[in-house]
Amino acid sequence: MKYTARMPETNVNVTPTSPLREFFVLLSGVIAIIVGIYLLLGLALNIIVPRIPMTFERKMAGPFINSMASVDRSSEKAQTVQKLLDVIQGRYAKLPYTFTVYLQESPRVNAVALPGGNIVVFSGLLEKVESENELAFILAHEMGHYVNRDHLKGLGRVLVFIMISAVLLGPDSSVGNLLAQSLNITEMAFSRNQETLADEFALNALHSTYGHVGGSADFFIKLSKEVNAGLGGHYFSTHPENLKRIAHLKNYSRIHGFAEKLLRNIPAIINKKRPA
């Protein structure tokens, strides 16, 4: 056999392939898996949450309240809000919760339902409200989240997110923090359906408390004006767009024959800013 030296025609050791295509196929696979896990755990939450006993929920609440610096529950302002909440709780279907109001100094125009019946109201919200009925509606709305225990579901979803992010990106990854912030995860936790149900609960509570539902939409009317002013601010919010929400409130009131009557003045202490 005569040996003739020549170059090999093809390189069998390197697969001719498009690495970019492979990269995107694999990446979308990973993302699909993550989304799948997130959705599955979300479904599991819906099954688990109604079975969490109240005693356990109260235990869960401890670290939340302790970790919140500068919460205030003893000032006259906080006591006034608490009293209003107690009136609503007393007049309308009682929930198996002892509600406690906490005030927090913050420009956020919002209130948050935490485990164990702890409702945090931000001072930015109190500066905006103009009538007792308006504030009562917001408080009743937060109470409405406890009916279906939305707050636990929301919390669970946040935990799932943090867990997935920690497994994939490491425990203190700034990418994970960034995602959490840009998704505004704590406020996104409630779905539109949950918000609508809480709204309906609040309307009923308002009607039982005052005999009419005046002031129920005031807050959202105010908010919708602000959203139009500040573009993108509420982009990620799952609160149904405020206009739709107002329409639903009016519609629900009409069907159930809830009237709108004169509003009660807000106690002066509520609007007062804390001395700087």
Partner 1 sequence: MNDLTIIITLIAIGYIAGTWAEKRHYRSIEKREREFLDLPTVSIKNVNIDDAKVKKAEIVYGGAVISVDYFKRILAGLRNIFGGAVKSYESLIDRARREALLRMKAMAPDATMIINVRIETSTIGRKSHKKSVACLEAFAYGTAIYLEE
Active-site amino acid positions: 142
Stretch that binds partner 1, among 5-13, 40-48, 52-60, 62-70 (CB under 8 A): 5-13
Q: Is residue 190 within 8 Å of 154, Cβ to Cβ?
A: yes
* Under rule CB under 8 A, residue 167 binds partner 1: no
Query: What does the buried/exposed string (b/e) look like for 217-233 if buried means 16 or more CB atoms within 10 Å of the residue's CB?
Result: bbbbebbbeebeeeeee
Question: Do the Cβ atoms of 111 and 59 come closer than 8 Å?
Answer: no
20 binds partner 1 (CB under 8 A): yes
Please select the residue that binds partner 1; options are 1, 2, 19, 69, rule is CB under 8 A: 19
Instruction: Please tell me whether residue 21 binds partner 1 under the rule CB under 8 A.
Output: no
Contact region with partner 1 (CB under 8 A), list: 12-20, 72-80, 113-121, 145-153: 12-20
Q: Is 29 in the site for partner 1 (CB under 8 A)?
A: yes
**CB of residue 27 vs partner 1: minimum separation in angstroms?**
6
Please identify which residue in 66, 174, 231, 268 interacts with partner 1, judged by CB under 8 A.
174
Q: Which long-range contacts (CB under 8 A, 24 or more apart) does 243-247 make?
A: 245/195, 245/196, 245/199, 245/220, 246/217, 246/220, 246/221
Q: Which residues, 6+ apart, have CB-to-CB distance to 68 below 8 Å?
A: 102, 104, 120
Position 243 contacts partner 1 (CB under 8 A): no
User: Which residues here bind partner 1, judged by CB under 8 A?
Assistant: 3, 5-7, 11, 13-15, 17, 19-20, 22-23, 26-27, 29-30, 173-175, 178
